Amino acid sequence: MEIIKAEHMGFCFGVKNAVDCAIKSLDEFGKIYSYGEIIHNKDVVEFLADKGLQVIDDKDAASFSEDSIGKIDAKVLIRSHGVSKKIIDFLEDHNLEYINATCPKVKSIHKIVSKYSSQGYEIIVVGDKSHPEIIGIVGWIDGKYHIAENLEKLRQINIDKEKKYCLVCQTTFNYNILKEIVEFLEKNDYTNIVINNTICDATLKRQKSCYEVAGNCDIMLVIGGKNSSNTKKLYEMCKEKCEKTFLIENYKEIPYKYIDKNTRIGITAGASTPDWVIEEVIRNVRESEQNNE
């Protein structure tokens, strides 16, 4: 059996920082709130819940209301995905203590859309409209905006070449889709659009390295939360290169029936997957080989 690990996988800086902030605060205070699940990984969420992390519903700003202020008896953690300006303003206006663990890459997008929208630009946000990062980004736009999940959706936007636009992208988005969109805009001479490639470097490295591994193995294991956007994108990319690609949350979901001593197994993991979950998967795969000898 051969196990080939992607060169880049697992926690990115933003996620690691948010989790570290949560652990440090929980060790100090015993209880904190997270506005929405801190990351899209069930194992980490359960681990932090056991330490005292409580999740506040993040569906909209109504989660924070005049009625709920008195119930907030601990610091609020803003996760790496970031939140809208409205949420930050609410916390500050009501003197609620919070820890801002928004990823620096996401913060930079907030600054870009805030700056350009205040100058009269319409904003085009490339990404998944239901993802918390996109919801947060939109909350910093002062004016008209559009969300496009792919080239087809972008084509449906009635882009006026006489108007000014600014394009940004979800940090964990599929680089190939963004590339397709940029090539379309350049080919059709949309010089009135300021294009910002805001996909995180860590995302690019993960996507490129998983693609390379998937093309050289018999089975590919993509480790991460089922509701993790960046993990799903890794799965989709690996599936293009390796038919037997499986998205698993942890070692309990290893597809053993496809594995034997002659299998070349590729391993990658989403940005919200901690090292210990990855190592558990690898250890159990190796133990299965030993048990079958």
Kindly give, in sequence order, each residue whose CB lies less than 8 Å from that of residue 87, ignoring residues fewer than 6 positions away: 35, 61, 64, 78, 139
pLDDT of residue 243: 95
Higher-scoring residue by pLDDT: 39, 162: 162
Residue 59 has pLDDT above 80, yes or no: no
Kindly give, in sequence order, each residue whose CB lies less than 8 Å from that of residue 27, ignoring residues fewer than 6 positions away: 51
- Give the pLDDT confidence of 139-171 residue by residue, as tens digits: 999 999 999 999 999 999 999 999 999 999 999
Helix axes 229-241, 201-214, angle to 10 degrees: 30
Report the catalytic residues. Answer: 133
Residue 195 has pLDDT above 90, yes or no: yes
- Give the pLDDT confidence of 3-35 residue by residue, as tens digits: 999 999 988 889 999 999 999 999 999 999 998
d(CA 253, CA 256): 9
Q: Which of 9, 23, 18, 51 is nearest to 37 (CA)?
A: 18
Residue 292 has pLDDT above 70, yes or no: no
pLDDT of residue 9: 93
pLDDT of residue 288: 78
- Give the pLDDT confidence of 91-125 residue by residue, as tens digits: 898 888 999 999 999 999 999 999 999 999 999 99
- Give the pLDDT confidence of 207-221 residue by residue, as tens digits: 999 999 999 999 999
pTM of the model: 0.83
Residue 190 has pLDDT above 70, yes or no: yes
pLDDT of residue 68: 62
Kindly give, in sequence order, each residue whose CB lies less than 8 Å from that of residue 288, ignoring residues fewer than 6 positions away: 254, 256, 259
Domains of the chain: 2-11+202-291 (3.40.1010.20), 13-103 (3.40.50.11270), 105-199 (3.40.1010.20)
Average pLDDT on 69-80 reads 84
Residue 36 pLDDT level (bands cut at 50, 70, 90): confident
CA angle 250, 274, 81 (to 5 degrees): 110
pLDDT of residue 40: 82
d(CA 274, CA 41): 9
Residue 58 pLDDT level (bands cut at 50, 70, 90): low
The pair of structure tokens assigned to 85 is 């300006």
Residue 37 pLDDT level (bands cut at 50, 70, 90): confident
